[in-house]
Amino acid sequence: MLSRASSGLSALFQEAKRAQNHLHHELPYRDYDPIERVFENTHSRGFGFKLSVLGGANDDLIQSLSHLIGDLPQGEKWDYQVQLFGHNRVAHYLEGNKAQLSQRGGICQKMANDDAIYAHYAAQHGFLHRQKNNRFDLRDHDAFFFVSTCEKDPQELLDARLTLETGLAQLGFDLLPVTPEMLLTSVGDILNFDKRQDRPKEKSYNPLEPLNQQALSPDTEALTYRGHIATRHTNDQGKEVQTEIVNMGLSRLPGDYRLYALPEAFSSIRNVSRNITCPYRVTLNFRNEPTGKQNADNDNKIKDLNKTVNSQMALLAPTAEDELKERKGIQKGLLSKEFTIASMVLTVTLFTDKDNQKKDTQAAKESFSNAGLDIIPLKMNQPQSLLSTLPFMMSEGLWQDCKKAGRVRTLKSSNLVNFLPLIMDFCQLKGGVLLPTMRQQISFFNPFTCGSDNQNIALTGGSGAGKSFFVQEMAEVIYAMGGKVWILDKGSSYKKLTLSLGGTYMTHANIFLNPFTHLGSIQNAEFEFVDDDGHAIDPMLEALDNITALFATIASPYAPLTAFQQSVLGDAIVTAWERKGNQAIVDDVRDALIEIAGIDSDRRIKDIAVQLKKFCSDGMYKEVFNKPSMLDPKVEITTLELDGFPPAVLRPVIFALMVSINQQMYLSGSRSTPKLCIIEEAWSLLSGANEQAREFINTGYRTARKFGGAFCTVTQGIEDFFSSEEAKACYNNSDIHIILRQGEGFDKYLSQNPSAFSPYEQRIIKSFDKSSTAGYSCARIKAGGHVTYHRFFASPVKRAMFSTEPKEFEYCENLYKQGMALEDAIEQTSMHFYGKEIEAFNQAIGASS
């Protein structure tokens, strides 16, 4: 008994003394020099940059990148690596946006919280929609550029960093030097990937310990299989994480490829079913081959080919002449330094799990194939492929291993740059309407932070485009973020939203628009505004100019006034204001005009007075323009329902509202407060052809901008923006153009304006599905010099709240008229029409949490 116990104890001691290998022993990272910002590895030294991901590329960028690559050191002692990491770690953006949208508390906070819960779910599991077999989630992308060398002279590495840093910065990249914490995090994100991690987490760094011992979880395990590597570790929350890593590589080089097509390989806009369905990392390792050696080798090839082509051997080598022509092109390019010769290894790494490995691998293969790149799983070569994705590993001897495995491809530097994974969709991350791009990059839309020259919006969408949902969401978000919103509606589409948010809903029976009502407040206000050039703005002058333009438009709706008439009209308005102050009415302007006409009865002036008669206190439209304005500057969201106004007075009402709202924008205070006026169904409201009306809109839009405000005009089709001078003025004064699904008129517009959109853009816009069919809306947004394509998703509860379907609207309206609280009426309507969807939605959200 004692003997057996002694034997077992001895075996235990022997096992304890045995050298146990750990994966971190294979990592070369040792130390970091904080002064030179260089990493010391087992056989190499290196540095890295975290780069911003560019939102597009063109041939000029490709050429500039090629020249930059050509300027980097050459030879087998220098290795370069570019990585793009696509992941679902976006919780920090979602929570930041929720905080912004919760400023007002109350229902805004509840809506922000509900939206955030749905977005968190969508990031990990995808949005709920009506298209089978398509996954749309939320992603973000991180890019890195690493350089390593075995060169002994430390100055050469510093010189290379200066060359790279300067060149990338000049090309528009934002750079951040890689720190030890960032390197450890990057390595951990590969070998200790955690799919449940919902936000970036930077590892800590202890300068007293070797870097390689800090990179991984102590219990990390990696099991190699023929087509993947299974890893297991315990995360920082004490939970076990199992991941299957699949490494894929090019089966062949494509014949022709461009950098700006690369994002299509990750997630296709043209074919929504083609996209990578799991987190991924694309790694490009490359070397610059010595130009001198390449020149010599190429010259020898040319000599041999010349002999072949000029001999009878040409009959046996029919492609020799083509190769000779290509070799001479290479000779010319190398001598002129148009390009260099480079070698590369491309690896696509998928982070998946046992249940989804085959599906995710096939999806990645089809997605890349759809973009013109053929990739295959690297069978029996998974460990080497995985190690090649780690920073600095190629300089530790792995390049030669990849060469023996046949993974190294040789090509021109001008072709190499087309594989640099540095391009994705342009995105905005400052908060607003959650509007992921069609490649699922997380992005938000806020007209006041999107970088456009002005914040005015021209939005168009046909029937079934989800236009009402989109605009209501934008209005709610601007309001929730502390902004002010005015909505000129026709059809009660915004009634539920306005009343739910505690706003004011006005109909034609209580819309009065005397433009003098708030002039006293403007004159006495102490707000200071400056324009974009820093010059002080005189609000009274702006207000009087607007009123003059309004009176000119309503007095002469079909022909513009002369410069003389405009000047006299302005004098009359000032006279009316000086005499009566904010009690002035249209009659006072008319009387001032008659006085100015004098005994000579100047017909030019008298005509204006006569034309104002129907808007005076004894005219047919006496109440609209003479009763004090009911717009309250203290109300944060106001909807003005225009149904009920006679068609003849509708356009003057619109213009008077623009004047009044511009005044409200000033009285709302700071220019930094977002202020948005939405004009719905603008195609039916702005239908005149008056040059004077066009100039009035120009003036109104400019004034709004000076006070930190913006107008959003909404039409059913893009052709509506070119059907009248007023509508065209709205479009031309808007730096933000939003196009949702278009109707039949789009083809006619394209035939008349063939250069308005490229064939590629036309194809995408025409592919936008009906929101009722797809379960989401699609949008093309042009703002701040960028064109992006987006999807807008709404939960079933919000779809019910924003719905303008006649049956749903009538059902909710009847409940409200019967005395039910609006919030309860909306909830009951939701359950009546969307009960099954809401139940399924709540079950999905609950199951995920």
What pLDDT was estimated at residue 39? 98
Residues 145 and 261 in one domain: yes
Are 140 and 123 within 8 A, CB to CB? no
- Same domain (yes/no): 307, 189: no
Highest mean pLDDT among 137-146, 461-470, 647-656 belongs to 137-146
- Placement of tokens 């539920």 in the chain: 496
**Sign of the alpha-carbon dihedral angle for 537, 542, 544, 545:** positive
Percent of the chain exceeding pLDDT 70 equals 92
Q: Report residue 731 as tokens.
A: 């479009």
Query: How many independent structural domains does the chain possess?
Result: 5
Identify the CA nearest to 803 among candidates 394, 489, 495: 495
Q: How far apart are CA 741 and CA 771, in angstroms?
A: 9
Q: Note the pLDDT of residue 839.
A: 83
The structure's pTM equals 0.90
For residues 598 and 545, membership in a common domain is answered with yes
Q: Which one is predicted more confidently, 436 or 610?
A: 436
What is the average per-residue pLDDT within 390-409?
A: 96
Does the structure show a pLDDT above 70 at 9?
no
Same domain, 727 and 595: no
**Confidence tier at 19 by pLDDT (50, 70, 90):** low
Tokens of 696: 């009035």
For 390, the token pair is 């780690």
As a whole number, mean pLDDT of residues 417-435 equals 96
Domain boundary among 756, 771, 794: 794
Q: How much is the pLDDT for 847? A: 67
Q: Which of 314, 339, 364 is the last residue of a domain?
A: 339
Judged against a pLDDT cut of 80, whether residue 435 lies above it is answered with yes
- In tens, the pLDDT along 657-690 reads 888 888 888 887 778 899 999 998 766 666 655 6
Q: What is the DSSP string of 679-691?
A: ETTHHHHS----H
Burial class (CB in 10 A: 0-12, 13-18, 19+), 500: middle
Whether residue 838 contacts residue 796, with contact meaning beta carbons closer than 8 Å, is answered with: yes
The pLDDT-based confidence of 636 (bands split at 50, 70, 90) is: very high
Query: Do the strands 140-149 and 45-51 form a parallel or antiparallel pair, or are they unpaired?
Result: antiparallel
* H-helix segments, 126-222: 154-170, 180-191
Which pLDDT value is given to residue 795? 83
- Nearest to residue 272, comparing CAs of 756, 738, 776? 776
Q: Is residue 756 part of a domain?
A: yes
CB contact at 8 A, 136 and 127: yes
Position of tokens 């120009």?
Answer: 698
174 is written with which tokens? 């934002």
Q: Which amino acid is at 659?
A: V
For 301-408, strand residue ranges (E) read: 341-352, 375-377
Its domain, for residue 333, covers 299-339
Domain match, 623 and 637 both:
no
| pLDDT of the residue at 101 | 97
Q: What is the mean pLDDT of the segment spanning 312-319?
A: 71
Q: Give every CB contact of residue 64 below 8 A, 6+ residues apart in sequence.
A: 171
Query: Does a structural domain hold residue 566?
Result: yes
The average pLDDT across 710-736 equals: 88
Residue 108 resides in a domain: yes
Strands 457-460, 709-715: parallel, antiparallel or unpaired by DSSP? parallel
HEC readout, 259-290: HHHCHHHHECCCCCCCECCCCEEEEEEEEECC
Specify whether 565 is located in the same domain as 661: no
In a domain, 530, yes or no: no
Lowest mean pLDDT: which of 171-185, 229-243, 701-715?
701-715
**Domain-located, residue 836:** yes
The pLDDT assigned to 656 comes to 87
Residue 295: pLDDT band by 50, 70, 90 thresholds? low
Instruction: Decide: helix, strand or coil at residue 486.
Output: strand
Question: pLDDT band at 311, cuts 50/70/90?
Answer: confident
For 755-766, the pLDDT digits (tens) are 999 999 999 999
Phi/psi-derived region of residue 810, left when phi > 0, alpha when psi is between -120 and 50, beta in every other case: alpha
Strands of the 675-679 sheet, one edge to the other? 504-506, 637-641, 484-489, 675-679, 709-715, 457-460, 736-739, 777-783, 786-792
Q: Is 202 exposed, middle or buried (0-12, 13-18, 19+ CB in 10 A)?
A: exposed
- Return all residues near 300 (Cβ < 8 A) that are at least 6 apart: none
Among 38-47, 193-202, 297-306, name the one with the lowest average pLDDT: 297-306
Same domain, yes or no: 251 and 351: yes
Percent of the chain with pLDDT over 90: 59
Q: What is the pLDDT of residues 584-602, one digit of tens each?
A: 999 999 999 999 888 667 8
How far apart (Å, rounded) are the C-alpha atoms in residues 280 and 450? 28
Write out pLDDT tens, residues 242-268. Answer: 999 999 999 999 888 889 889 999 999
Identify the top-confidence range among 82-86, 629-633, 678-682, 791-795: 82-86
Annotate 430-484 with three-state secondary structure: CCCEECCECCCECCEECCCCCCCCCCCEEEECCCCCCHHHHHHHHHHHHHHCCCE
250 and 391 belong to one structural domain? yes
Question: Based on the domain organization, do 478 and 502 belong to the same domain?
Answer: yes
Q: Report the chain's terminal Cα–Cα distance, integer Å.
A: 54
Q: What is the pLDDT of residue 509?
A: 87
* Residue 692 counted as domain residue: yes
pLDDT range class, residue 746, cuts 50, 70, 90:
very high
Among 17-21, 447-451, 552-556, 844-848, where is mean pLDDT lowest? Answer: 17-21
* DSSP-assigned letter for residue 394: G
DSSP assignment of 603-631: HHHHHHHHHTGGGSTTSTTHHHHHSBP--
Residue 390 is predicted with a pLDDT of: 98
Residue type, 792: F
Q: Indicate the residue type of 163.
A: T
Of 836, 774, 829, nearest to 802 by C-alpha is: 829
818's tokens: 């019967």
Please tell me which residue, 459 or 13, carries the higher pLDDT value: 459
In angstroms, what CA-CA distances link 58 with 171, 262, 414, 417?
12, 12, 13, 12
Closest CA to 465 of 680, 773, 750, 686: 773
**In the prediction, which pLDDT does 687 show?**
62
Q: Does 493 fall in a domain?
A: yes
pLDDT, tens digit, for every residue of 149-175?
999 899 999 999 999 999 999 999 999
Please compute the mean of the pLDDT values over residues 44-72 and round it to a whole number: 94
| pLDDT above 60 (res 621) | yes
The domain boundary residue, chosen from 578, 596, 628? 628
- CB-based contacts of 21, cutoff 8 Å, min separation 6: none
Q: Helix or strand or coil: residue 3? A: helix
Same domain, 506 and 574: no
Q: Within this chain, do residues 756 and 830 fall inside the same structural domain, yes or no?
A: no
Q: Which amino acid is at 726?
A: E
Q: Which amino acid is at 235?
A: N
Residue 330: predicted pLDDT: 67
758, part of any domain: yes
- Domain shared by 238 and 325, yes or no: no
pLDDT, mean of residues 348-377 = 96
